Structure 1
């Protein structure tokens, strides 16, 4: 099992991995979960897949994507958009409630957002926990390498059950909300204790 952090600067070094990750996102979010998201050429994408973002991918030696995640700086701007959690709070996204945070969405050089976190639905149940842990550890390292001390993410509200197992300090940043029939919550991953 390998992990790769992709950026627009290094995509050319990794063959089809970026496209395979977008295909895996489509398979899970559009085909399996039946979410109404943009797609083209068999790939899912949105307005946050820009050169400002990075993508952490867990994959095998053949490039088959097992899991993935997108990291976007809270300072990013693309037209009217910034980052997903902040834009939802500002009422720009009709699929995520605007009351998802207790306070105003933070913006700062050391604050990033983790979004589109997934484990492919065809990863066997016996292997899912290990793949998920590998993804969280890789995204933690990537975020820290980018200078993040905090990373906001919208997660399934069951996060307290596994946060300790992967060694990430997490704090609820908003209420538990039902989105697409699933209980979700915005959480901040605090990387300060792990910085050396």
Structure 2
């Protein structure tokens, strides 16, 4: 099976309210539909709470023909939920009103199934600038851990340390990571 994966920084995506935001949202939906991916890591999903961001991710999934739901966790009894991980960094709009916190999430083709117990949210501070979300997906008998991450855009040393934490989340599991704010590859960068 040939699979397609992507990553997309949605740049301050909140529930569209103005006509301009609605037009932008429609363009994002069209772009995501055109990607025809099996999994898509997304960053900068805004919401005051993880539940708000989860509702926005669910709306985006519905509008693009994708899914964002995890599988129930048989060990903990946790129900299926939107694959969204929370951060603690808010975003003020042009009027200074907080539009919520930045979150990262994972969208998937509905034909690709989440593995029970394969969901993990690494929520923001103190370990991450924004967050890391990982979800194990079954691609017709092949399981891959898919991750979405957004690193610290301001401090290269923190990006490096976050990258080490992200790497540890994939130990012992084949996977793919969609991310924003790639750490420099050398000390001189």
Greater helix proportion: 1
| Larger strand proportion of the pair | 2
- Normalising by structure 1, we get a TM-score of 0.36
